[in-house]
């Protein structure tokens, strides 16, 4: 009986989705509304409407702001789920298998990582801060920061990297993506625009247009730091060894 009910619901859902797909405009047709209305509007008016010189950034943060708000929330929820299952580490006394294994990693690898990680961090900062002009942006730069911390943690061990990026630094910044995005979005309401519009009609005409650009950069920095700290916290929660909270003898 249960199977019949679930089969019925899956079949109904499949029929509904197939019906919707059959009513969609044909893919790749140059005459459908995405190609005739949306793309020219974005390409022609993105700069004056969003004050972001990189059209992709303008689209992601302004036109499709709700999409990005959802993504940012999803990342934060992922961290919340991981921490709900695995728990946050105790402050300062965590170890992982790198310290517990007794086999130190090779000198070549350690030297290379120590050489490369600062440049990766520099590139990620460039990606975040320059994302308003060039390809990239907050989320990409945050992911690169997370990747560099992963390299550092897998070679140098959890203890040293948790000293470098301490819990007191991470936990306030984890929510910064959601908070910055939401607060700057709400500011748009007071500025005479809609929620999640930064190019407020009143402000950008009366005051300086660069203010809007700086708000975009602020949102990018918030998303970048938040995403990076979420990734690092998930990594720390996962690589931490159980029963290794006590200091080694």
What residue ranges bind another protein (CB under 8 A)? Answer: 28, 30, 35-36, 39-40, 44, 56, 60, 97, 127, 135-137, 139-140, 143-144, 146-147, 150, 154, 231, 234-235, 238-239
Query: Which CB, 28 or 247, lies closer to another protein?
Result: 28
- For the CB of residue 8, give the shortest distance to another protein in the complex, in Å: 30
Rounded to a whole number of angstroms, the minimum distance from the CB of residue 79 to another protein is 12
Neighbours of 245 (CB within 10 A): 13
Residue whose CB is less far from another protein, 28 or 102: 28
CB atoms within 10 A of CB 50: 25
Distance CA 60, CA 117 (A): 29
Q: How far is the CB of 4 from another protein (least distance, A)?
A: 30
List of residues 6+ apart from 59 with CB closer than 8 A = 42, 46
Nearest to 132 by CA among 199, 216, 49: 216
Question: Which is nearer to another protein, 229 or 235 (by Cβ)?
Answer: 235
Cβ of residue 12: shortest distance to another protein, in angstroms?
29
- Do residues 64 and 219 lie in contact, with contact meaning Cβ atoms separated by under 8 Å? no
Nearer to another protein among residue 44 and residue 208 (C-beta): 44
Under 8 Å between Cβ of 59 and 131 = no
- Judged by beta carbon, residue 63 or residue 200, the one nearer another protein is 63
Q: Whose Cβ is closer to another protein: residue 30's or residue 102's?
A: 30
Tell me, what DSSP letter sits at residue 157? -
How far apart are the C-alpha atoms of 138 and 222, rounded to whole Å?
Answer: 7
Smallest separation (angstroms) from another protein to the CB of 152:
11
What gap in Å lies between CA 165 and CA 169, rounded to an integer? 6
Q: How far is the CB of 86 from another protein (least distance, A)?
A: 10
**Three-class SS of residue 214?**
helix
CB 149 within 8 A of CB 165: yes
CB of 89 to another protein, least distance (A): 14
Report residue 139 as tokens: 């989320």
Specify the residue, 44 or 111, whose C-beta has the smaller distance to another protein.
44
């Amino acid at each position: 009986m249960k199977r019949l009910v679930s089969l019925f619901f899956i079949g109904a859902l499949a029929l509904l989705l197939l019906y919707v797909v059959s009513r969609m405009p044909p893919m790749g047709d140059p005459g459908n509304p995405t190609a005739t209305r949306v793309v020219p509007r974005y390409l022609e008016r993105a700069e004056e409407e969003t004050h972001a010189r990189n059209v992709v950034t303008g689209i992601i943060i302004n036109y499709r702001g709700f999409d990005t708000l959802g993504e940012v929330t999803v990342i934060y929820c992922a961290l919340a789920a991981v921490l709900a299952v695995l728990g946050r580490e105790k402050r300062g006394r965590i170890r992982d298998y790198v310290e517990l294994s007794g086999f130190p990693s090779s000198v070549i690898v350690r030297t290379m990582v120590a050489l490369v990680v600062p440049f990766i961090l520099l590139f990620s900062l460039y990606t975040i801060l320059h994302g308003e002009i060039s390809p990239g942006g907050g989320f990409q730069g945050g992911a690169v920061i997370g990747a560099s911390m992963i390299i550092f943690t897998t070679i140098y061990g959890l203890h040293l990297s948790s000293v470098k990026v301490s819990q007191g630094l991470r936990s306030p910044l984890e929510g910064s993506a959601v908070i910055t995005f939401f607060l700057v979005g709400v500011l748009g309401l007071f500025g005479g625009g809609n929620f999640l519009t930064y190019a407020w009609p009143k402000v950008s005409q009366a005051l300086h247009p660069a203010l809007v650009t700086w708000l975009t950069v602020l949102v990018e920095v918030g998303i970048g730091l938040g995403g990076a700290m979420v990734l690092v916290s998930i990594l720390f929660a996962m690589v931490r060894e159980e029963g290794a909270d006590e200091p080694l003898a």
